[in-house]
Amino acid sequence: MTVLTLRFGQYRLAGYRSGEGGIPLLVVHGGPGVPCSYVYGAHKHYAAEGFDVVSWDQLGCGGSDRPDDPGLWQVDRFVAEVDAVREQLGWDKFFLLGNSWGGMLGIEYCLAHLDHVRGFVIGNSAASMPRLIRGFDRCKQGLGSDTARMMALREAEGTVDHPEYLAARTLLMYRHMLRMDHWPEPVLDAMRPEGIGTGPFTAMFGPHFYNCSGNLRDWDRMADLPRITIPTLVTTSEWDYLLPEYARLMWEHLPQSELVIFRNSGHMPFWDAADRYHPAVLGFLKRHAGLL
């Protein structure tokens, strides 16, 4: 792995690379504000399959600069950041793989700069935040109506540090985020409080993980998906809070798309369904890169 120093205007971005000289693959992390180690760590071995795998900590999190400027936490600025990374890498055309928020950002990037993207993997993501919010609500109801009511009350009161709320959130994480008893080190590294970008996360998503109240709350690009005419792979999982039915709806709106659903998996199938996820994603990338 090579550590990169990238720039966005006056700000420094921390990047990571494996397989320089291969077919360009940009891996975009989620959050907003969750460092890239959890998703880069799961895909960096694609370098051995002929890909130049690059990821970076988006501005405001991880090893990148963390400016105290709320005006930076807007979708359009993040799109400009992705394009700045592409330019510094010297890439004209590349494959884009985005997980969670990274998939949403990837949708926005494709709508603005489709000419630069050879193929797109929308990894356990969404094209509509209102639909995603309904998925959150369904997951909370799955813990029982009393628990869902308690979580809503704690969030309204601002008492989310109460043990009963923390216990419910932990159960949701192990049921819907990552269905593994022991989480891999790259995931634990990304989840450490000192790495999380609270600025972008709070501004765009809100203070509570399972209740979006930030500036992404009304974001919806479902009607624009037919404009993304490049080969696209949509991945989703049986237990993901980004519900499979919404992934299917994205697939139906994307003219050159494939859909893969991973059973007994959560939001990170590249870890808890690795034996099925990587053959599917690598197969898609290789086909459209001319490696198969």
Catalytic residue ranges? 100, 240, 267
SS3 183: coil
Contact 215, 203 (CB under 8 A): yes
Count of C-beta atoms within a 10 Å radius of residue 145: 9
Give Cα 35 distance to the centre of its chain: 10
Burial class (CB in 10 A: 0-12, 13-18, 19+), 193: exposed
Q: How far apart are the first and last CA of the chain?
A: 26
Q: How many residues does the chain have?
A: 292
Bridge partner residues of 261 (DSSP): 236
| Mode of pairing for the β-strands spanning 11-18 and 51-56 | antiparallel
